[in-house]
């Protein structure tokens, strides 16, 4: 891809408050190798490695900036009018939380914009799976999802590295949940340690829609995620959950904004971070309630579990409230494994190592159990266990 | 109900000013000549003058912090401000010597009365210089020094120079630099080892002249094992043009010392109140900031404690009330720098009308510390539908031996509570007032008695006409 030289990426200034605590310079693209188109057998191999779910309504597998196989959609879904294809029109722009340069870069240069539409009243029984394999160079995936009235969709996005070469990933996702629809989305990021990534997403819910989004961040180097969730209709309900496991040389930088523009809407955010030796996390959350969004319930919680003296957790939980009849709260805690709980288990004959493991995995389970897809839940548990072994 | 009587008080209290003839006036605008003038009038040593000049350079170099703070700061015209006004240098020692018109001002604010009753010492600042300064003899005998900043630097440099500008360096922020350049007045207090000052020391600051900036500098040093409580109150009459108050307050609590610093401010709503307050707590020392902000156009104030010694403790209790058109941007900073240090922040804010209250905080626990604890609670109450509140905390925790918790909530006075009280014969306004007082009650109780009564009345006053 030669585009990179023509559209240089201007990094934000390190003193930009939107990038507080972040290692801005690590997002530089200078040393990046150009993306190469993979040979047929390598593409086929990646498609083989992408069978993470037994039962899907359809899937798209991307390698770098190309499709590894034609997009597949079950006949039953096609008959219902569901569409899943590469879009010609780029993702609509949306407000970012400091990563505007990255969104511009993604939107000018992306060649792979996956577009998923679910018509009114259609309920998909099994999930749609999108797998993005990162290779050398900058992968620039886009995902655009629209659900019609009273429809139902489960979407799984998995981001992985094809091998151990350094890679970059700048992605944008936009989900618009139509009136009364139920959308449940799971994003798993498990790259190799030499990957830097910026993910920008905007999730919006119309009247009475329920939109759940679960982020599982396991592998990667310097990763930034920006999520704007927006309650645009009365009675909209948005839930944003995240679990990140950060270790040596890893920085997970998550910025969120919960906006409420309509009355009687609800949003709930729970971000949990486990920090091993050398791990670093940043959570910056904001709840913004417009004057017209009376009777809003908005909650924001950040829990950091520090497992090593060299770990560092940063929290910036924020509120901006302009309506007066609302219930809003945020909480942030940073701590370690509770000695009393450890003592309780040890007094019942469980070894210290096992007890610690149980407590740490218990901390994760609150998020993992929200996935509601047993085979993916097990896959995620396996990946996390692997992460702890290294 | 007796409630109606308590609301019946002097609403214009503090809103008066006298035409005072000033003996010394540095004119408007800020330049090296202004510094020379102030330094000359005060007959300062050359190191103080150098310190001021450095402050001026830093102030000119530093940009306005509007990349994170409100743009309202750009409305301050530094060239229109008068940086030094004074009626003479030596603070009067007896009440009788104080000039009549200045005395009238303080009489209205009730200072001599309070002094007679229970105060150990009074330092009243009228514009730039302390007009009245006296301390109970027995305190002086014990070696307690309670003087104005000018006198402190002149008479006791061996004590004050060591810590002066050390807790808050000149370059800390634009306004601390401004204060370093033109500071005048404020209190310098030294409490010798083991001395426990039982009565609170009190100072009162008042802006009298239009367009005047007040830049007092306070330094309190509590030597090993000593204890002291300091109270300050601030007011300004309502002028057409805005006034600037930019103080620097440094506290040093040496090993095992305890300092409690209480502020009640009720600036008129055209005052920019931009204050830097910070304390340094050595081993097992305890510093408590109790801060109440009512009034002013914009207040930016984040009292902080640097927990430098093992088992040091820092606390900030703050109440902010943002009335119509006001912005209270307050918060706290807790910098943990030793093992087993603990800190506690409790902030409550009330926004009335178009008022906006913000909480901004920093909690920092660096690597390799063990057993550090922080607890932060911020509660905001919104009264009207156009009121606003924000919370912007920043928390950094490193290492696995520390725990930090932060919690914030936003609510309004519940309709059920109001209904319950109205059923029992209270008017809506009374019910609202009672509810609001209930919201801040557990913090108000931390204030000395006469302050907490005053505070409740001030809140009632601000709440007037906001309901219905």
Cβ contacts of B386 on chain A, cutoff 8 Å: 291, 322, 324
Q: Where are the domains of chain A?
A: 3-337
Contact by Cβ (8 Å): B65, B73:
yes
Give the one of A322, A324, A336 whose C-beta lies nearest to B400's C-beta.
A336
Q: Bigger pLDDT: B235 or A104?
A: A104
| C-beta atoms of A321 and B388 within 8 A | yes
**ipTM for the complex shown:** 0.79
**pLDDT above 70: residue B398:** yes
Closest approach of chain B CAs to the CA of A108, in angstroms?
Answer: 29
**In the predicted model, what is the mean pLDDT of chain B?**
82
Q: How far apart are CA A19 and CA B88, in angstroms?
A: 51
Between chains, do B67 and A17 touch, taking CB under 8 Å as contact?
Answer: yes
pLDDT (mean) for B19-25? 69
Q: List, for residues B149-164, the tens digit of each pLDDT value.
A: 888 888 899 999 999 9
Work out the number of other CB atoms within 10 angstroms of the CB of residue A125.
11
Select from A318, A324, A332 the Cβ nearest to the Cβ of B412: A324
User: Least CA distance to B396: which residue of chain A?
Assistant: A314
Q: Given a cut of 80, is residue B217 above it in pLDDT?
A: yes
Best mutation target among A305, A307, A334, A363 (most B Cβ atoms within 10 Å) is: A334
For residue B414, what is the nearest residue in chain A, using CA coordinates? Answer: A325
Mean pLDDT of chain A: 91
Closest chain B residue to A307, measured at CA: B400
The residues, ordered by sequence, that sit 6+ positions from A348 with a Cβ below 8 Å of its Cβ are none
Residue B281 clears pLDDT 90, i.e. is over it: yes
Q: Å from B359 to nearest chain A CA?
A: 9
Q: Which of B395, B413, B416 to mutate to test the interface with A (most CBs of A within 10 A)?
A: B395
Contact, A238 vs A211, CB < 8 A? yes
Q: How far is A300 from chain B (nearest CA, A)?
A: 10
Can you give the residue ranges of every domain in chain B?
Answer: 3-463
A249–chain B nearest CA distance, Å: 15
Over residues B56-80, mean pLDDT: 89
At B3, is the pLDDT very low, low, confident or very high (cuts 50, 70, 90)?
Answer: very low
Task: pLDDT band for B8, please (50, 70, 90 cuts).
Answer: very low
Report the pLDDT value the prediction gives residue A73, as an integer from 0 to 100: 93
Beta strands per DSSP E along A247-293: 251-260, 266-275, 280-289
Q: Which chain B residues touch A if contact means CB-CB below 8 Å?
A: 67-68, 367-368, 380, 382-412
B121-130, B278-287, B450-459, range with the lowest pLDDT: B121-130
Q: What is the pLDDT of residue B384?
A: 84
Write the burial class of residue B5 (CB in 10 Å: 0-12 exposed, 13-18 middle, 19+ buried).
exposed
Q: What pLDDT shows up at residue A109?
A: 87
- Nearest-by-Cβ selection for A316 from B380, B390, B393: B393
pLDDT of residue B110: 56
Please, what sign has the CA dihedral across residues B149, B154, B156, B158?
Answer: positive
* Nearest beta carbon to residue A333 from set B383, B400, B404: B404
Residue of B nearest to A315 (CA): B395
Contacts of B391 in chain A (CB under 8 A): 317-320, 330
Contact A333 B405 (CB under 8 A): yes
Tell me: pLDDT of B124 over 80.
Answer: no
pLDDT at B380 over 70: yes
Between the alpha carbon of residue A244 and those of residues A142, A189, A272, A337, the distances in Å are 22, 9, 6, 17
CA distance B275 to chain A (A): 22
- pLDDT for A382 beyond 90: yes
**Lowest mean pLDDT, pick from B81-90, B414-423, B429-438:** B81-90
- Give A-chain residues touching B387 at CB under 8 angstroms: 324
Q: Is the pLDDT of residue A343 over 90?
A: yes
Whether residue B257 contacts residue B222, with contact meaning beta carbons closer than 8 Å, is answered with yes
Cβ–Cβ pairs < 8 A, chains A and B: 134
Distance from CA of B53 to the nearest CA of A (A): 28
Q: How far is B289 from chain A (nearest CA, A)?
A: 23
Lowest mean pLDDT among A184-193, B25-34, B108-117, B194-203: B108-117
SS3 string, A1-68, reads CCHHHHCCCCCCCCCCHHHCCCCHHHHCCCCCCCCCCCCHHHHHHHHHCCCCCCCCCEEEEEECCEEC
- pLDDT-derived band at B389, boundaries 50, 70, 90: very high
- Preferred mutation among B408, B414, B416 to probe A, highest tally of A CBs within 10 A: B408
**For residue B21, what pLDDT is reported?**
65
pLDDT value of residue B19:
63
Work out the average pLDDT over A281-301: 93
pTM as predicted: 0.83
From A196-205, B112-121, B258-267, the region with the lowest mean pLDDT:
B112-121
Which residues are registered as beta bridge partners of B273?
B245, B299
Which segment of A197-201, A243-247, A377-381, B363-367 scores lowest on mean pLDDT? Answer: B363-367
What pLDDT is attached to residue B235?
63
Share of chain B above pLDDT 90, in %: 42
- Facing A319 at nearest CB: one of B384, B405, B408: B408
**How close B184 comes to chain A (CA, Å)?**
34
Q: Which residues of A touch B (CB under 8 A)?
A: 15-17, 20-21, 291, 294, 304, 306-336
Q: Is there a contact between A321 and B368 if contact means CB atoms under 8 Å apart? A: no
Cβ neighbours of residue A178 closer than 8 Å, sequence gap 6 or more: A120, A146, A147, A148, A149, A150, A151, A206, A209
Confidence of residue B85 (pLDDT cuts 50, 70, 90): confident
What DSSP designation does B82 have? Answer: B
Q: CA torsion B85→B87→B90→B95, rounded to 10°?
A: -120
Note whether B352 and B321 are within 8 A (CB).
yes
pLDDT at B2: 34
């Amino acid at each position: 891809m030669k585009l990179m030289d023509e559209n240089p990426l201007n990094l934000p200034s390190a003193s930009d408050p939107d990038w507080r605590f972040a290692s801005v310079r690590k997002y530089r693209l200078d040393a990046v190798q150009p993306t190469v188109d993979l040979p047929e057998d390598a593409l086929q191999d990646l498609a083989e490695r992408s069978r993470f779910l037994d039962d899907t309504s359809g899937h798209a597998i991307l390698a770098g900036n190309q499709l590894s196989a034609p997009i597949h959609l079950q006949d039953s879904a096609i008959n219902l009018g569901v569409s899943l294809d590469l879009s010609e029109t780029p993702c609509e722009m949306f407000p970012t939380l400091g990563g505007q340069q990255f969104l511009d870069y993604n939107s000018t240069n992306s060649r792979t914009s996956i577009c998923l539409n679910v018509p009114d009243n259609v309920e998909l029984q099994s999930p749609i799976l999108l797998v993005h394999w990162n290779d050398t160079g900058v992968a620039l995936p886009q995902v655009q999802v629209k659900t019609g009235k009273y429809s139902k969709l489960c979407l799984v996005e998995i981001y992985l590295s094809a091998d151990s070469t350094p890679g970059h990933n700048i992605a944008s996702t936009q989900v618009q949940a139509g009136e009364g629809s139920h959308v449940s989305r799971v994003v798993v990021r498990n790259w190799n340690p030499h990957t830097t990534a910026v993910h920008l997403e905007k999730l919006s819910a119309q009247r009475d829609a329920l939109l759940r989004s679960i982020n599982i961040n396991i592998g990667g180097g310097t990763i930034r995620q920006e999520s704007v969730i927006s309650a645009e209709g009365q009675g909209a309900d948005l839930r944003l959950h995240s679990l990140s496991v950060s270790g040596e040389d890893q920085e997970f930088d998550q910025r969120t904004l919960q906006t409420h523009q309509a009355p009687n809407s609800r949003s709930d955010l729970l971000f949990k971070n486990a920090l091993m030796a050398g791990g670093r996390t940043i959570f910056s959350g904001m709840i913004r309630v417009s004057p017209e969004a009376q009777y809003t319930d908005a909650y924001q919680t950040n829990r950091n579990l520090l497992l090593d003296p060299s770990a560092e957790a940063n929290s910036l939980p924020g509120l901006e409230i302009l309506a007066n009849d609302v219930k809003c709260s945020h909480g942030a805690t940073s701590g370690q494994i509770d000695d009393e709980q450890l003592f309780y288990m040890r007094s019942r004959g469980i070894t210290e190592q096992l007890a610690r493991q149980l407590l740490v995995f218990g901390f994760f389970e609150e998020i993992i159990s929200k996935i509601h897809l047993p085979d993916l839940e097990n896959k995620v548990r396996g990946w996390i266990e692997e992460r702890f072994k290294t | 109900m007796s409630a109606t009587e308590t609301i019946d008080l002097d609403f214009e209290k503090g809103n008066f000013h006298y035409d005072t003839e000033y003996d010394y006036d540095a004119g408007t605008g800020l330049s090296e000549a202004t510094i020379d003038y102030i330094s000359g009038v005060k007959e300062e040593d050359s190191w103080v003058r150098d310190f001021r000049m450095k402050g001026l350079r830093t102030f000119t170099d530093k940009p306005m912090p509007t990349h994170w703070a409100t743009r309202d700061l750009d409305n301050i015209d530094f060239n229109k401000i008068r940086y030094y006004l004074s009626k003479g240098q030596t603070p009067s020692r007896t009440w009788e010597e104080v000039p009549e018109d200045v005395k009238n001002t303080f009489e209205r604010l009730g200072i001599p009365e309070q002094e007679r009753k229970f105060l150990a010492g009074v330092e009243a600042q009228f514009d730039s210089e302390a007009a009245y300064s006296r301390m109970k003899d027995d305190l002086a005998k014990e070696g307690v020094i309670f003087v104005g900043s000018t006198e402190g630097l002149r008479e006791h440099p061996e004590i004050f120079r060591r810590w002066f500008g050390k807790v808050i360096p000149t370059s800390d922020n634009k306004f601390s630099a401004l204060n370093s350049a033109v500071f005048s007045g404020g209190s310098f207090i030294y409490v010798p080892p083991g001395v426990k000052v039982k009565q609170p020391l009190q100072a009162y600051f008042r802006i009298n002249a239009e367009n005047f900036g007040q830049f007092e500098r306070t330094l309190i040093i509590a030597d090993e094992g000593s204890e002291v409580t300091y109270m300050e109150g601030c007011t300004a009459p309502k002028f057409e043009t805005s006034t600037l108050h930019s103080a620097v307050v440094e506290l040093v609590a040496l090993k095992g010392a305890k300092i409690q610093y209480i502020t009640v401010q009720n600036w008129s709503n055209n005052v920019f109140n931009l204050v830097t307050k910070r304390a340094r707590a050595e081993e097992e020392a305890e510093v408590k900031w109790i801060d109440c902000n009512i009034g002013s156009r914009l207040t930016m104030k984040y009292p902080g404690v640097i927990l430098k010694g093992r088992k040091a403790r820092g606390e900030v209790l703050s109440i902010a009330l943002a009335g119509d058109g006001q912005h209270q941007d307050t918060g706290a900073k807790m910098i943990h720098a030793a093992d087993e240090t603990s800190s506690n922040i409790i902030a409550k804010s009330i926004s009335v009308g178009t008022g906006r209250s913000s909480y901004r905080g920093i909690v920092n626990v660096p690597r390799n510390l063990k057993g550090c604890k922080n607890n932060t609670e911020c509660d905001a109450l919104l009264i009207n539908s156009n009121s606003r509140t924000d919370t912007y905390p920043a928390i950094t925790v490193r290492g696995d031996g520390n725990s930090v918790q932060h919690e914030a909530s936003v609510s309004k006075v519940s309709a059920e509570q109001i209904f319950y009280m109205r059923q029992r014969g209270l008017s809506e306004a009374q019910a609202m007032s009672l509810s609001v007082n209930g919201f801040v009650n557990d913090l108000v109780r931390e204030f000395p008695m006469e302050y907490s009564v005053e505070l409740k009345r001030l809140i009632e006053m601000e709440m007037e006409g906001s309901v219905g």
